[in-house]
Amino acid sequence: MTRIRVALAVAGVLVLMFPIYWMLRVSVAGTDELSTLPVALWPREWHLENFVEPWRQYPFLRWLGNSVVIAVVSVVATVGINLCAGYAFAKLRFPGRDLLFLLIISTLMVPIQVIMVPQFQLVIDLNLLDSLGGVILPRLAEAFGLFMARQFFLSIPDELLEAARCDGAGHLRTFRSVVLPLSGPLIAVLVIFTFMWRWNEFVWPLIVLTDSDSYTLPVGLQFLIQQFGSNFGPLLAMSFLSILPMLVVFAVFQRYFVEGIARTGIR
């Protein structure tokens, strides 16, 4: 029985990893090889220049840097806001708390396309058009992350917080010294989700960023499609490089990922 489970697990991994392998395989293929069907599973020649030419011809490094700045700043700010707000909605008592939380969660039902126009007008009014700040600012607060944080903090016993207050700790010290050390799984989940959303975001940066030097990786890859046309080798090479940071982030935080997802659904 164990061997069957292992075999099924290996088969599942191979199926899930095949698209990534195929991306890497096509990224080292030449145009002549790709024009001949069927395309072999193993490349006859390795065209490693596909990984070099886009860097030489286009500001790919600049696009990478823009994406890193947007993703890192968004992760730090969004996770911080979600943790503070989630703790307030879970453990503090104030008038209209439940109604305000319901109104915030109800924004999840509003399509993002509906609020893009007012967000774009806000960016113009703040003189943030064609800047990384214009991409970051409208996405700092996330209702989904707030919901996860609140659910996680509800699972923390109130007696633990009361003990800290009996020792003279205020809300800020209790949050910093007691709650945050217990929030590793939650932080891991929020970091992974927020980084993934900001790294892959395409429509909003496309609207806000007008200068090609300000592009993020998804917008830059769309620009490369127009330049390389049917030469899929360089396109897939840059696409493969663009997913590596997400794999690194998930590998670092995956240890706490499952526990964080499970604990946010306790109540």
Prediction pTM value: 0.83
Structure token digits, residue 121:
């007008």
What's the sign of the alpha-carbon dihedral 168, 171, 173, 179? positive
Which residues have C-beta within 8 Å of that of residue 114, sequence separation ≥ 6?
none
Predicted pLDDT at 260: 56
- 10-residue mean pLDDT series, the chain (267 residues): 82 85 79 69 76 82 92 93 91 88 88 86 89 88 88 85 79 83 86 90 90 88 76 79 84 68 51
Locus of tokens 């509003």: 110
Q: Which CATH class is domain 51-263?
A: mainly alpha
What's the sign of the alpha-carbon dihedral 53, 244, 129, 73? negative
Contact, 212 vs 266, CB < 8 A? no
Q: Which of 210, 215, 222 is nearest to 129 (CA)?
A: 210
Report the distance separating Cα 83 and Cα 184, nearest Å.
11
- Hey, where are the domains in the chain? 1-46, 51-263
Report which residue type is found at 36.
Answer: T
Angle (deg, nearest 10), helices 60-91 and 184-200: 140
Report the distance separating Cα 245 and Cα 228, nearest Å.
24
Phi, psi torsion values for 93, nearest 5 degrees: -115, 120
